[in-house]
Structure 1
Amino acid sequence: MSASSSGRLLLAPAHYPSCDASGALRLSEPDKAVAIPLGDVLAHHAARGDRPALTHDGLTLRYSELDARANRRARLFKSLGVGHDDLVLLALPNSIEFFESTFALWKLGATPCPVSPKLTRSELDMIIETVKPRLVVGGESAAATQLSAGVDPGAEFSTEAIESRIPACWKAITSGGSTGRPKVILTHVAGTTDPQRASYALQQARDIILNPGPLYHNAAFSSAHQCLFAGGQVVNMERFDAERSLQLIQRHRVQYTMMVPTMMSRIWHLPAEVRESYDLSSLRTVLHLGAPCPTWLKERWIEWLGPERIVEAYAGTEGVGATSISGTEWLQHKGSVGRAAGGAEMRVLDADGRECAAGVVGEIYFRPPQHRRGNFSYLGASAKQSGDWVSLGDLGHVDEAGYLYLADRRTDVVISGGVNIYPAEVENALGRHPDVRSCVVIGLPDDDLGNRAHAIVQLADEARNRIDAEALAEFLKTQLVRYKIPRSYEFVSADLRDDAGKARRLQLREERMAALAVTAAENPPK
C-alpha cells in the first residue's frame, strides 16, 4: 500500500479471514489469497530463506529459532491443560518470551489475551473473573493454573514441529473502558494468514519494523505479529526510550514504525543536535494513532521527516471501522484524523440518533463492510449499536469534505459553570509549552462552578525549579479563552501516560477525590 501523488491513501477491503481485526488500511487481491494456520507461519518462512524474525535486547532470532522455541513452549502449555479455543492470559513484558507464547498458543489453537504485566493483583483478578482463562502466564493472581514469567520449558519438551490447530478467535484484547471495569474484546476472526502479504496498516511484506509500544496494546500486538506473519523482522523494544528508538531505526535500517503521540513528543523534546544526529533515511512510514496528536507536534514531525512519511489512523480494537489521513492531506485539514477507510462507513449522530451537520459534535459510529460484521464481541460489556452501526464511545465532528475531528468522550468533558471544557483541547495547549513533558486535565468539585478544570503536569527535569502554576496560567492566556484555563495545577514527577499513550483519567480523578475527602473529614466546617 502506498500514498498517491496527492497524498491520499490507497485503501482496499480485507482479503482473507485472518487479516488484522482493526479492519483498515489493507491492500488485497481476494482471488490470490492463500491461508495457512498462524501456528505454521514461522516454519513456513524458515523453509523459504530463514531470515531474521525478531530482534530484542541485542539478540536476533531467525524464523527457525523462534519456531523451535514456540514448539517447546506449546508443549509446556499443553501439559498445563491448554487446548483448542482456550483463552490464556499473558501478563508478560515485551520480550522474546511474549512472542514464543503467542505462537505456542496458536499452535495449540488457543487464543492469547495479553494484559499489562504491571497490573495489581486485584486488577488482574478482575480480568480473570471476566475471562475465565485456562492459564495465566506471569503476574500474581488467584488463578487456579498459573505459570510464572521467565520459566524455561527445558529440554524435556521437544522443539520438533507439532500439528497446528486453528483458533476461532486469533486474539482477545483487554480494555479498561470508561467505567474502569475491564472488558475484553474477542476478535471472531480465525487464526489463519496469507504469509505472502502484510495486512496491517501500510506495512509491506518482509518489512523491518520497530515496535516501541507495549504488546498488550492492540495496535502494537497486531502490528508486530502481522509483520511476522508476512516474513518481516520485528525490532522490539522492552519499553520505549526516545533516543534508543532512533538508534534502533538507524542500526537496523527500519522501514516502518508505529507510535503514539506521547512517544513522538518525547523524541521531539530531545536536544535538536541529538535528534538530528541519526540517519532515518530508511524510514518509509511513521504511523501514529492511539490518542489525539497535538497540532503543534504533528506540524514539527511533518517539517522534520516530510508529510509523505507521516500517516495518522483512528480505529478501535473492535475492528468495525477506521479513518486515515496522510501528512499531505493533514496540511489541508489540520487537526483531522481523516476519512473513513478500509471499506467502512462512518456517521456522526446526535443524542436522538440523527446525523449531525458538518461542524456539529456528536457520537461517532462505524458500519463495517458486510463480510466483517459480527467479527467481535465483548466479555464484560455490551456493544452500543444502532442496527449495523457501532459506536466506540468517542465524540467528534466532520467537515464538509467528510474529514473527522475528534473531541473528548462524554465521560471526560468537564462541565464548569454550565460550560463544557474539553480536556484534550487544554492538554494540547499546555503541551505547546516547551517545559511541559506531559499533562492530563480532569474535573474536580468546585463550590462555585460545580466543577473546575484541574491540570496535572509533568515538567521536564530541568524545568522543575523555574515553572509554577502562575507561569503556566500566564502562558495559556495566549492559547485559550479564559474559562478553559485550569483553575488549579498540580506538578508530578511520575509519567502520566503509559507506553501506549493512554492516561487513566478515572483513576487520577478518583485518587484526588479520595484525598479531598480526607481533607474535608480532617477539617469539618465550623
Structure 2
Amino acid sequence: MTSVPIGRAFELLADAAPDAVAVRCGDAVLTRRELDAESNRVARAWAGRVGHDDLVTIALPNGLDVVLACVATWKLGATPQPMSPRLGSREREAILDLVRPALVVDEAFAAGGLERSTDDSPLPALSASSWKAPTSSGSTGRPKIVRAGAAATVDPGGQVAPFVPRQAVQLVAGPLFHAAPFAYAMRGLMTGHELVVMPRFDAAEALRTIERHHVTWAVLVPTMMHRIWRLPDRETHDVSSLESVLHLGARCPPWLKRGWLEWLGPERVVEVYAGTESQGLAMISGPEWLERPGSVGRGVSGSEFMIVRPDGTRAEAGELGEIVMRRDGPPTYSYVGERPPDRDGWHSLGDAGWTDADGYLYVADRLDDVIVTGGVKVHPADVEAVLEEHPDVRSSVVVPRDDAERGQVVHAVVDVDRSDVTEATLLAWARARLDPEKVPRSWRLVRHPLRDDTGKVRRRHHR
C-alpha cells in the first residue's frame, strides 16, 4: 500500500476491520469504525476555526479525548501540537505566543467532552506539511517547539521503523503530550496497532494491564523499568504476551538493563537512542548489548554518528567527546521561532559519549551535567546508577554544588521509600561502589518522585 493522508488512513483501517479495537483507556473503548466516525464529528465541529496547515495545540491528559483531538486535527489537514497540561501559566503563554495555534484544546475546552457535529461523513483528504509539532522536554532549558520535517502522510500497512512491529497491542505508559510516547503511539495507531492507554503510569497497574489485555509491545523509559523492577510481586504476573519491549529516553543503568534481559530474555528487549528532532537514531538488541554492555547501538534508518573533540575534530575510537549525528534525506525537523544550529549537517543532543572500534555508540551523560570536582570529571548518571541500585532508593538526581576548595562537589538528592534510610546508610553504599571523587559530599533525602513519567528531570531546580 502507498502513503495516504493520515486522516484517510483511519478510514482505510476502519474499512478493513471495523470492529477491531483502536484505542482503550480504562473501561472506555473505541473501535476503528467508532474512532473514524467520532473524529469526523469532532473535525467538522472545528472546521470553521482550523484550516489547512494550521497548528492545533492539544494540552490534554491521557485518555480517549487526546486521541480523538489528534485524529480530528489530521483530518482537517492541520498539525497537532501536543503540550503538557501541567505547565505553569508563564511557560504555557510563552509557548502559545510562539505557536499561535488556530485552536487550543485543553481541559477547560474539553470539559464535558469534545465538541462534535452530527455529521460523521468523511472529510476531504488533506495532509499537512508536518505531521506533528511537539515541545521538547525542557529538561535542559526552555522547551522548544519541534516541527517534524515529514508530511502528514502514512502507509497504513507499512512498518514505521525497523524496531516497531507492524501489528501490536501497544501499551502507552507515558504521557501523550510528551514527544516519544506521542510519536510511537500515534504512528502505531495509524498503522493498525491497538493502543492500551494508561491514564497515568503506575508500575503495578502496568503489569496488570499487560496481563489483562495481552499486550505484545511496550515503550518504556528507565524510570518505569526501575519502578516495575522494584515490585515485590513482579514475577507473579504473566507477561508472556510481550513480544518486545522498547526502552529509550535516558541512559539505562547496566544492572537494571541486565536484570530485564534475564527476566524477559535478551531477544525481547530493544533500546533506541534518539531525540525529539529525530536527527539520528541508534538501536541495539538485547543479544548485542550483552556483547557490548552499556552501548546504545549503531545508526539505523540512514543515521550516522560521530564523536567530536571541543575543537571540532573527529575523536578516535574510545575517546570521550560530544555525540553528533546526521541522517540521510531532507531535514527531519525545524524549530518554531528559532533556527536549528548549523554544523555542516551534523546535529547534537548535547550528550557526551564515545564509539568503539566497530562503531557502537556509548552515552556518558549530558555535556551540561558533567561535574568537575578537583579537576576530575564526574558524570551524574554514573553516580545515580549506583544509588538507584540500593533496594530502598526509588530515584536520585545528582548535581554540582559550588565548593571553595574543589570548585564543585557532588550533591545527591535521593528519593527513599523508608524513613529509617539515612545519609550515613547511603554514604556507606556509595563509598563501597564508587571512586572517591564520585561519592556525594552532601545529601538531601526526600519521599517523593524526582522524575516525571518520562524519566525527565530539570536538574537546575535541584542546584
What is the TM-score normalised by the length of structure 1?
0.85
How far apart in 1 are the matches of 2:267 and 2:116? Answer: 49
Residue of 418, 423, 426 corresponding to 1:472: 426
Instruction: State yes or no: 1:45 paired with 2:28.
Output: no
The one-letter amino acid of 1:132's match is R
Deviation at 1:179, TM superposition (A): 5.1
Equivalent residues in 2 for 1:194-205, closer than 5 Å: 194-200=155-161, 202-205=163-166
* Paired residue type of 2:55: L
Report if aligned partners of 1:173, 1:218 keep a CA contact under 8 Å in 2. Answer: yes
- 2:31 pairs, out of 52, 62, 65, with 62
Query: Is 1:210 aligned to residue 171 of structure 2?
Result: yes
- DSSP-derived class of the 1:88 partner: strand
Other-structure match for 1:432: 389
Please name the residue that 1:385 is paired with: 342
Give 5+ residue unaligned stretches, structure 1.
Answer: 1-32, 140-146, 510-526
How do 1:344-363 and structure 2 match up within 5 A? 344-363=303-322
Q: Which residue of 2 aligns with 1:144?
A: none
Distance 1:418 1:149, change over 3 A: farther
Task: Please say if residues 307 and 354 of structure 2, whose CA atoms lie closer than 8 Å, have aligned partners that are also in contact.
Answer: yes
Q: Indicate yes or no: 2:73 matched with 1:73.
A: no
The amino acid across from 2:428 in the alignment is: E
Indicate which of 95, 99, 102 corresponds to 1:131.
Answer: 99
1:270, distance to aligned residue in structure 2 (A): 0.2
- Structure 1 partner of 2:273: 314
- Alpha-carbon distance change, 199 to 133 in structure 1, aligned in 2, over 3 angstroms: same
Q: Deviations over 1:240-265 (max 9, x none)?
A: 11111111111111111110000000
How far residue 155 of structure 1 moved from its aligned partner, in angstroms, is 5.9
- Which whole-Å CA distance do the structure 1 matches of 2:351 and 2:117 have between them? 50
Contact 2:136 2:179 in 1 (8 A): no
Out of 192-201 and 278-287, give the one that drifted further: 192-201
1:411 matched to 2:396? The reply is: no
Q: CA deviation at 1:151?
A: 4.5
How far residue 446 of structure 1 moved from its aligned partner, in angstroms, is 2.0
Distance in structure 1 (CA, Å) of the matches to 2:165 and 2:364:
32
1:12-46, CA deviations, whole angstroms, 9 ceiling, x for partnerless residues?
A: xxxxxxxxxxxxxxxxxxxxx50111112222111
The Cα of 1:450 is off from its aligned counterpart by: 2.1
Pair 156,345 (structure 1): closer, same or farther in 2 beyond 3 Å: closer
Aligned pairs for 1:254-293 (under 5 A) are 254-271=215-232, 274-293=233-252
Match of 1:504 among 429, 438, 458: 458
Specify the SS of the correspondent of 1:453: strand
Structure 1, residues 465-496: CA drift from partner, whole Å, max 9, x if none? x2111111111112111111111111112211
Is the Cα contact below 8 Å between 1:455 and 1:486 reproduced in 2?
yes
CA contact (8 A) 1:108 1:165 kept: yes
Name the CA distance, whole Å, in 1 between partners of 2:315 and 2:91: 38
Q: Which amino acid aligns with 1:412?
A: D
Which residue type is aligned with residue 215 of structure 1? L
Normalised TM-score (structure 2): 0.96
Q: CA deviation at 1:149?
A: 3.1
Distance 2:458 2:367 in 1: 15
Identity of aligned residues (%): 44
User: Separation in 2 of the partners of 1:385 and 1:270?
Assistant: 46
Partners of 2:274 and 2:175 in 1: CA distance: 17
The CA distance in 2 between the partners of 1:268 and 1:179, in whole Å, is 28
In 1, the alpha carbon distance for the partners of 2:412 and 2:106 equals 35
| 8 Å CA contact retained: 2:136, 2:276 | no
Q: What residue number does 2:301 align with? A: 342
Give the unaligned 5+ runs of structure 2: none
8 Å Cα contact 1:182-1:380 kept in structure 2: no
The one of 272, 284, 292 aligned to 1:325? 284
Amino acid at match of 2:211: Q
Partner of residue 493, structure 1: 447
Rounded to whole Å, the distance in 2 between the matches of 1:423 and 1:134 is 42
SS at match of 1:382: coil
Whole-Å separation in 1 of the counterparts to 2:4 and 2:405:
63
**Matched residue SS, 1:183:** coil
Q: Deviations over 1:341-386 (max 9, x none)?
A: 12211111111111111121111111211x2x32311124432332
**SS of residue matched to 1:104:** helix
1:224 and 2:185 aligned: yes
After alignment, is 204-213 or 166-175 more displaced?
204-213
Change (3 A) 1:380 1:449: farther
Q: Is the 8 A contact 1:198 1:226 kept in 2?
A: no
Superposition deviation, residue 315 in structure 1: 0.7
TM-superposed deviation, 1:152:
2.8
The residue type paired with residue 57 of structure 2 is: L
- Aligned equivalents of 1:196 and 1:288: distance in 2? 24
Q: Give the deviation of 1:154 after TM superposition.
A: 5.2
For residues 149 and 493 of structure 1, do their structure 2 counterparts lie closer, same or farther at Cα, with a shift above 3 Å needed?
Answer: farther
When structure 1 is superposed on structure 2, of 178-187 and 396-405 the one drifting more is 178-187
Q: How does 1:108-257 map to 2 (within 5 A)?
A: 108-138=76-106, 148-153=109-114, 156-177=117-138, 180-200=141-161, 202-257=163-218
Letter in 2 for 1:43: E
Encode CA deviations 1:128-173: one digit per residue, 9 max, x unaligned.
122222221116xxxxxxx623343456442222223110000011
Question: 2:137–2:178: 8 Å Cα contact kept in structure 1?
Answer: no
Matching of residue 445 in structure 1 with residue 402 in structure 2: yes
Amino acid at match of 1:496: L
Are residues 276 and 40 of structure 1, via their aligned partners in 2, closer, same or farther at CA, if it must alter by over 3 Å? same
Q: Please give the alpha-carbon distance, in whole angstroms, between the structure 1 residues aligned to 2:377 and 2:207.
A: 40
Equivalent pair of 1:126/1:182 in contact (CA under 8 Å): no
